[in-house]
Structure 1
Amino acid sequence: MTTPTRTDLLTDFSLEMTGKDVDDLQAAVPVLPSGTRVNVTFLGNEDLAMRTTAARAVRMAGLSPVPHISARRLHDRGELDTYLAALRDVDATSAVFCVGGDPATPAGPYPDSEAVIRTGVLAEYGVRHVSIAGYPEGHPDISGDVLWNALRAKAAALAEQGLEGSIITQFTFDEEPVLRWIEQVRDAGIHLPIRVGIPGPAGVKRLLGFARRFGIGANAMIVKKYGFSLANLIGTAGPDRLIAALFDGYDPARHGEVRLHFYTFGGLHATAQWIHDFRDR
C-alpha cells in the first residue's frame, strides 16, 4: 500500500443520497468523477423499491453504490436476505455501510451492526467491503466506553469474516476532536481507512438543526471555524475552512489513510457542484 499524503484528502471522496434523490443524482453526475462512492441511505420512510432503485441509478451512472444496512430496522433474517438479494440483482453489493440505526428498540434480532456482520451472510451476497460508523464527538445516547468497545468489536468481526473495511465518521464542524480521535483509533490498533464526515453546503439553520439532533458540538468557536456566525443564521455555509483546517492538521504518518465523506444536507447536486468547484480552486 502506498504511503498516504495530505493531498489524498481531496481525492476519492464519497457522498450520500436518499431513495428520493434519484433526479438530483442525475443532475450531479456531470460533476462527479467516474466511480465516486455514493452511499444510499436506509431510512424509516423509505422502502425496498426506493433503496434498490437508488442503488441501481448510482451504478447506471458509472458511480459506485454503497447501500446502508440499518441493523435495528431489520425485522428478521428473511428481511436481510431479501434486501441483499435485491441489491445483488442491481449489482450493488460489493460495498455496504452497516450501521446500528436510529430506533431505540430493535425491530428484530440485530441490536447493532456487529450482529449483522457476524451473521456471515454479507459475503454470501457478494459483499467484499463493509464501512462501519465512528463517532469522534460521541453519541447523545451511547457512552464513550460502549462506542469504543463497539468499534473494536466491529473491526475484529470484519477481520474474522475476511471482509475489507473502513470507518465513516459522523459529521463534524471542527477538525480538532476528529484528528485527536483518529490518533486514538490508531493507538487502539485499528488501522482501517477513515472517511471524515463533512457537512456539505447548506442553510445555516438546517446545519445547526442536524447538529443538535446528533449531539454534534456547535458552539460559537466551532461554527466560526466552519464559516458562519450564530448571530447570523441567514444564508448558506460551506465547509471551506473546515477542509483547509483538516488539510493543515492531517499527518499521514500519524493518522493513516483518511478521506472525506460529504453529508448532502443541502442537496446532492449542490454538494457535488460545490466539491467540483472547490477542487478546481
Structure 2
Amino acid sequence: MALLNFRKCDRAGRGSAGQTAGRTAQLAEFVRGYSIEVMPKTAAKIADFRALLPAGTRVYVAHLEGTPIGDMVATARRLTEEGFVPMPHFAARSIPDTATLADWIARYAGEAGVREGLILAGGIPTPKGDFHSSMQLLETGLFDRAGFVRLHVAGHPEGSRDIDPDGSERNMMAALGWKQAFAARTDAEMAIVTQFAFEADPVIAWADRVRDRGIDLPIHIGVAGPAKLQTLVRYAITCGVGPSLAVLQRRARDVSKLVLPFTPDAFLDDLAGAARRRADFPIAGVHFFPLGGIATNTRWLAAHGLAPAQDS
C-alpha cells in the first residue's frame, strides 16, 4: 500500500453560510481521530511533528523497498518521543526470513516502544525470501510474543490484480475472512486500512460487501491528501487505483483546473454525509496518504478545524 471522490472542491462553497458551516463541522467530526503516513526520508524534513499533528495521532511509517531498518526504527523512535503512536509497515515479500522478522520486531519494540504494526504482503512481485502474504507473518506469532497489541491489515476497495488476477474479489474476501478469524482467536486489536480511491459510492459499496461476508473488523478508508493533479494521477497509476481514476481524468480535461490543488473535500463530504444518515455505516475512520506532502495535508486539516492542539 505504501496502501476519494475528489470531485469539484468548490462544491462546499455552494448554499448558505449555515449549510457550509454544517458541512464543515460534519466533515471535521468524521475525520477526527485520523491517522497519517510518513516515510523516513520525508520525516527527516519535518523539524517537529508536534507543530503539525494532534498529540497521540497514529503515524504509519511506510517501509519502501531498500529503506534500511535502522532508518525505520529511528523514525519510529522519534515519533514515540514526540508523543505519537508509530505503526510501521511489515511487508511480507520484503522480509527474507523469520529471523529477520523477529529482529525487526524486537528492534521496534525495544528501541522505539512500538506496539502496533501494519501487516501487508507488499508491492514487489517476487518475494525476497520465505514470505509472500500478510497471513504468513501473522501466523508466526512473533508480534504477540513481542507485546504488539494492534495489528492492521490492508483492504482494496477497487480490487487488486495482485490478489485477484481475474478481477474478482474472491481471494481478497477470503483473506479478510481469515484475518477476521485470526482476530477472534487472538487478543490482537485489528482493523482494515484501505488503499486510497476517488469516489465515495464504490468505497461504501465495497465496505458493505465486506460486512455482508460477516467481517466486522473496523474499516479505515484511505484518503489521498491535497496534491497537484499530476501527482495524484502518478500515484494512482503506480498504486493500482483503477475505476475511480476516471474522476481525475475528468478533472484533467478542464485546463483551468490543472494548476489548482486537488483536495479530498468532496469525497469526505460524501462519506461524512452517508455516515450521518446511516446507523449501520461500515466505515470507522480515515487514513491519510499525504501525497502532496505532510505539511500540505496538515494545513488542509487545520483549515477544517483539526489543528494540532485538538484532542485526538
TM-score, length-scaled by structure 1: 0.90
Partner of 2:3: none
How far apart, in 2, do the equivalents of 1:260 and 1:82 lie? 31
1:21 Cα deviation after fit: 2.0
- Preserved contact between residue 27 and residue 269 of structure 2 (Cα < 8 Å): no
The answer to whether the aligner puts 1:117 opposite 2:125 as a matched pair is: no
The answer to whether the aligner puts 1:216 opposite 2:237 as a matched pair is: no
Q: How does 1:1-281 map to 2 (within 5 A)?
A: 8-143=29-164, 144-217=169-242, 222-223=247-248, 228-232=251-255, 233-250=258-275, 251-256=277-282, 258-279=284-305
How far apart, in 2, do the equivalents of 1:242 and 1:136 lie? 14
Cα distance, 1:108–1:209 mapped onto 2, change above 3 Å: same
SS of residue in 1 equivalent to 2:47: helix
Deviates more, 1:246-255 or 1:260-269: 246-255
State the AA in 2 paired with 1:131: H
1:62 Cα deviation after fit: 0.7
How far apart, in 2, do the equivalents of 1:64 and 1:150 lie? 27
- Preserved contact between residue 66 and residue 96 of structure 1 (Cα < 8 Å): yes
How far apart, in 1, do the equivalents of 2:303 and 2:130 lie? 45
Cα distance, 1:106–1:151 mapped onto 2, change above 3 Å: same
Instruction: Flag the structure with more relative contact order, 1 or 2, with Cα contacts below 8 A and sequence separation at least 6.
Output: 2
State the AA in 2 paired with 1:205: Q
State the AA in 2 paired with 1:275: L
Aligned residues: 275
Q: Which runs of 5+ in 2 are unaligned?
A: 1-25, 308-312
* Cα distance per residue 1:76-133 (max 9 Å; x no partner): 0111011111101234431110010012121122110011001111011111110000
- Preserved contact between residue 56 and residue 84 of structure 2 (Cα < 8 Å): yes
Cα distance, 1:190–1:221 mapped onto 2, change above 3 Å: same
- Preserved contact between residue 22 and residue 57 of structure 1 (Cα < 8 Å): no
1:6 Cα deviation after fit: 8.1
How far apart, in 2, do the equivalents of 1:163 and 1:280 lie? 29
Cα distance, 1:219–1:101 mapped onto 2, change above 3 Å: closer
SS of residue in 1 equivalent to 2:65: coil
Larger radius of gyration: 2
Cα distance, 1:280–1:113 mapped onto 2, change above 3 Å: closer
1:218 Cα deviation after fit: 6.0
How far apart, in 2, do the equivalents of 1:219 and 1:129 lie? 30
- Preserved contact between residue 14 and residue 37 of structure 1 (Cα < 8 Å): yes
How far apart, in 1, do the equivalents of 2:116 and 2:245 lie? 38
Cα distance, 1:172–1:262 mapped onto 2, change above 3 Å: same
- Preserved contact between residue 226 and residue 263 of structure 2 (Cα < 8 Å): yes
TM-score, length-scaled by structure 2: 0.82
- Preserved contact between residue 93 and residue 125 of structure 1 (Cα < 8 Å): no
How far apart, in 2, do the equivalents of 1:14 and 1:181 lie? 21
- Preserved contact between residue 113 and residue 154 of structure 1 (Cα < 8 Å): no
How far apart, in 2, do the equivalents of 1:141 and 1:280 lie? 36
How far apart, in 2, do the equivalents of 1:97 and 1:196 lie? 14
How far apart, in 1, do the equivalents of 2:196 and 2:178 lie? 22
Deviates more, 1:198-207 or 1:265-274: 265-274
How far apart, in 1, do the equivalents of 2:130 and 2:246 lie? 42
SS of residue in 1 equivalent to 2:40: coil
